[in-house]
């Protein structure tokens, strides 16, 4: 009986994660064929190829280990978009944000940026970043077993704008001053 309950709980967790990915996939599929958008999809196989690289430093080894736990990455972006603000609002309608915990919101003169996480069994299983500005829009979904500090370092090394804000996090929550 305990095994049956445990299997049921695991199935519910897996189905909830799959439903969230389906909702995000619907948003991506709505716009990924639109040539005015840039779209990037990275599979777990691609992340696996990175783990075959040699690490020169302990920090590089740590980063490669973090990458090896990633299962996928999806980015949808639009530059020079007069509709960027409406796309930002639409993202919050189409993506089931209530299934995520908001980590941080960053507002500057020309853009809003929000970070969300989904936790499964006490570990971050997805990082969602939504950016909307006067002429810029981006939504990014990173999923797998995620270490936010390592993702911030990876983002910094790869010059992925926005991810540097994750360095302001401590144990999955904003640092208190």
Check if the beta carbon of residue 19 is closer than 8 Å to that of residue 11. Answer: no
Half-sphere exposure of 119 (CA within 13 A, CB side): 10
99-144 confidence digits (pLDDT tens):
888 988 999 888 899 999 898 888 889 989 999 998 899 999 989 9
Rounded to an integer, what distance in angstroms lies between the CA atom of residue 11 and that of residue 132?
Answer: 35
DSSP 8-state assignment for residue 53 = S
Q: What is the dihedral of CA 67, 15, 102, 167, to 10 degrees?
A: -10
38-75 confidence digits (pLDDT tens):
988 898 888 888 777 787 888 778 878 888 888 999 99
Per-residue CA distances from 123 to 118, 120, 143, 145 (Å):
8, 5, 11, 7
State the maximum Cα–Cα separation within the chain, in Å, rounded to a whole number: 57
Highest mean pLDDT among 32-36, 62-66, 167-171: 32-36
Look up the pTM and report it.
0.72
- Number of domains making up the chain: 1
Q: What is the dihedral of CA 137, 79, 36, 90, to 10 degrees?
A: 20
1-32 confidence digits (pLDDT tens):
444 333 333 334 444 444 445 557 777 888 87
The whole domain housing 169 covers 2-174
């Amino acid at each position: 009986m305990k095994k049956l309950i445990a299997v049921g709980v695991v199935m519910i967790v897996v189905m909830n994660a799959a439903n969230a990915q389906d909702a995000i996939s619907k948003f991506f599929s709505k716009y990924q064929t639109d040539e005015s958008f840039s779209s990037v999809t990275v599979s777990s196989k691609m992340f696996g190829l990175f783990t075959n690289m040699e690490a020169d430093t302990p920090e590089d080894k740590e980063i490669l280990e973090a990458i090896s736990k990633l299962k996928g990455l999806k980015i949808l972006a639009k530059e020079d978009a007069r509709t960027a603000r409406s796309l930002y609002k639409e993202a919050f309608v189409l993506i089931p944000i209530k299934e995520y915990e908001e980590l941080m919101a960053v507002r500057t003169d020309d853009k809003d940026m929000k970070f969300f996480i989904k936790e499964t069994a006490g570990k971050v299983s997805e990082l969602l970043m939504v950016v909307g500005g006067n002429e810029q829009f981006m939504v990014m979904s990173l999923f797998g077993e995620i270490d936010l500090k390592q993702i911030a370092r990876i983002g910094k090394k790869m010059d992925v704008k926005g991810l540097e804000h994750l360095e302001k996090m401590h144990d999955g929550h904003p640092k208190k001053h």
